[in-house]
Structure 1
């Protein structure tokens, strides 16, 4: 892809994330319902439930980032993810980005302030995963 990364500012990233959160709720309800059915209607172990939430979330993002370079929330806001080295985005990059995004979520989005100080407009999750977002 091109060298220049168009800055996708925190507000636009957060609004796309909120859109994706509501889609993820549907995925979580479906996965939870299936897990509950497979468990004979008994409540799941909390750690198993948390594992299912994390794995289904990773699967959601991995599927959309590998097939089309954007989630549905990103598509609404005309944002696309790409690899900084110009190649197809990899599972490793997706996994790193996903884990760093969880950390950013727990820190209330504060690490996104790095976008304003980076010459290329990259956040910490972009830098660590060697990916970036651009406006299409």
Structure 2
């Protein structure tokens, strides 16, 4: 039996602004990862920069691996965590590898179409982007964690 996320009744569809904020965070993280991969590639190539198709393919796989890992393990990239966003199936479960592939590829197409796949959120009644529609997923906003007073009298998070 697959695990299901909690707090499903307290989530709501994510708007364009939050998603763009998370994308900027993730882009900065990816830039650092690409720099590391580039450094390793140059070191392995004897100090010569190599823009071969192998290197570009490696960057593509590293980028997919970054997103797929986080989406499938908790539903949140680091940028999504900062903006309290989570990607999940329509019935509130973590997404699988097939849905990750579909989200990733359609996200690329959405960007190549001048971001139209994300502008679509403004017109869709359920605030779905093209990647959401193609993969059968949705991005939701998580509620803020409430602080409660423990028996010790200190504030702790749920």
The one-character-per-residue Cα deviations of 1:19-58 (angstroms, maximum 9, x if unpaired) are 1000001110111111222222222233222212211110
Of the three residues 29, 49, 73, the one matched with 1:23 is 29
Secondary structure class of the residue paired with 1:132: strand
- Structure number with the higher helix fraction is 1
Structure 1 runs of 4+ aligned residues shifted over 4 Å read: 1-5
Which has the larger Rg? 2
**Which residue of the partner structure matches residue 154 of structure 2?**
none
Distance of 1:4 and 1:125 partners within structure 2: 23
C-alpha deviation, 1:77, in angstroms:
0.6
- 1:80, 1:133 within 8 Å by CA — same for their partners in 2? yes
Distance of 2:10 and 2:102 partners within structure 1: 22
Distance of 1:108 and 1:76 partners within structure 2: 25
Of the three residues 76, 82, 85, the one matched with 1:76 is 82
**Which residue of the partner structure matches residue 115 of structure 1?**
121
Q: 1:109 to 1:57 in 2, by over 3 A?
A: same
**Which residue of the partner structure matches residue 94 of structure 1?**
100
Distance of 1:115 and 1:3 partners within structure 2: 21
Secondary structure class of the residue paired with 1:81: strand
- 1:5, 1:120 within 8 Å by CA — same for their partners in 2? no
**TM (normalized to structure 2)?**
0.77
Number of residue-to-residue matches in the alignment = 136
Q: 1:66 to 1:9 in 2, by over 3 A?
A: same
Distance of 1:109 and 1:3 partners within structure 2: 30
**TM (normalized to structure 1)?**
0.88
C-alpha deviation, 1:85, in angstroms:
4.3
C-alpha deviation, 1:4, in angstroms:
9.4
C-alpha deviation, 1:3, in angstroms:
8.6
Whether 2:93 is the aligned partner of 1:103: answer no
